[in-house]
């Protein structure tokens, strides 16, 4: 039987296996608080969801720690702790988070993510440094981007709650930005005050920024660019945080 070329091509196409479209990376934005609760959390969630969507990701938001099971967390490429505070996961949920990272999961910490998990040493190493305190109110400084221990590009102004940390994470992480303590009162870290950093940790990737207290900063282009880089780094889309 003779087949015309169009019919033959149709039969060939029908014989090819069908492949489902690749599912987009999913992001879990987690905002449970067991201590101070930031009024900026709703704005942070909206902003992170928008940035994730712009990057072709799908972002879910929850404060339900029961999601921290191996089965549930396996759905996500990145987990964001956005101004979480205190002890937000129990021991079983902590083990699920550790397993998630060890299998290549990504973590993003925003602001009070460093004011979380003081009784969970693994988490302290993941986030990079624990919160120590901050000067009263909002203050102004400048953020100096950094790469390989050297200034990288122009500094930019910031007006926010400026965290001090219990230790300087430099040496354990790649510092991405520092604060200029000479421009405000109450800094305790001296001439080397990291405020954003990233590192590969225990099989996964972690990225953190200490900024994000004030609602207004979520409209600042430089801070939004910082968050975009954080999501991309944690998702494994970029090696530059």
Check whether 4 has a pLDDT greater than 90: no
Q: Torsions phi, psi of 79, nearest 5?
A: -115, 125
Residue 1 confidence (pLDDT): 42
Measured at the CA of 123, the angle between CA 57 and CA 168, to 5 degrees, comes to: 105
Tokens of 228: 């975009």
Question: 7 pLDDT exceeds 80?
Answer: no
With 80 as the cut, is the pLDDT of residue 5 above it?
A: no
Look at residues 46, 83, 51, 54 and name the one whose alpha carbon lies nearest to residue 212.
83
Q: Of all residues in the chain, what percent carry a pLDDT higher than 70? A: 91
pLDDT given at position 125 = 98
Domains annotated for the chain, with CATH where assigned, are 24-130+196-234 (3.40.50.880)
Would you say residue 41 has pLDDT above 70? yes
Quote the CA–CA distance of 37 and 128 in Å, as a whole number: 21
Digit-coded pLDDT (tens) for 46-91:
999 999 999 999 999 999 999 999 999 999 999 999 999 999 999 9
pLDDT digits (tens, 9 = 90+) for 217-232: 999 999 999 999 999 9
Would you state the pLDDT for residue 23? Answer: 86
Distance between CA atoms of residues 216 and 44, nearest Å: 10
Residue (of 163, 139, 142) closest to 154 by Cα position: 142
CA 14, 15, 16, 17 torsion-angle sign: positive
Indicate the average pLDDT of the chain: 93
Residues 221, 32, 45: CA angle, nearest 5 degrees: 25
Question: What pLDDT, on the 0 to 100 scale, is given for residue 19?
Answer: 43
Token reading at 168: 């300087």
The 10s digit of each residue's pLDDT in 170-215 is: 999 999 999 999 999 999 999 999 999 999 999 999 999 999 999 9
Both tokens of residue 196?
Answer: 């954003």
Output the pTM of the full model. Answer: 0.91
């Amino acid at each position: 039987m003779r087949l015309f070329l169009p019919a033959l091509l149709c039969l060939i196409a029908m014989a090819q296996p069908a492949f489902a479209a690749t599912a987009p990376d999913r992001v879990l934005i987690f905002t449970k608080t067991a201590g101070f609760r930031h009024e900026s959390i709703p704005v942070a969630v909206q902003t992170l969801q928008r940035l994730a969507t712009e990057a072709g990701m799908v972002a879910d938001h929850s404060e339900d720690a029961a999601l921290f099971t191996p089965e549930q967390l396996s759905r996500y490429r990145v987990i964001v702790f956005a101004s979480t505070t205190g002890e937000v996961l129990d021991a079983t949920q902590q083990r699920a988070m550790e397993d998630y990272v060890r299998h290549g999961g990504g973590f993003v910490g925003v602001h009070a993510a460093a004011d979380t998990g003081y009784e969970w040493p693994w988490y302290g190493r993941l986030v990079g440094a624990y919160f120590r305190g901050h000067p009263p109110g909002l203050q102004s400084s400048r953020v100096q981007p950094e790469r390989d221990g050297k200034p990288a590009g122009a500094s930019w102004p910031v007006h926010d709650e400026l965290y001090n940390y219990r230790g300087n994470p430099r040496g354990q992480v790649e510092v991405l930005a520092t604060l200029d303590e000479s421009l405000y009162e109450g800094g305790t870290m001296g001439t080397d005050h990291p405020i954003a950093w990233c590192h590969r940790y225990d099989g996964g990737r972690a990225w953190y920024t200490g900024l994000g207290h004030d609602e207004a900063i979520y409209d600042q282009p430089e801070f939004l660019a910082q968050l975009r880089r954080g999501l991309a780094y944690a998702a494994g889309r970029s090696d530059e945080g």
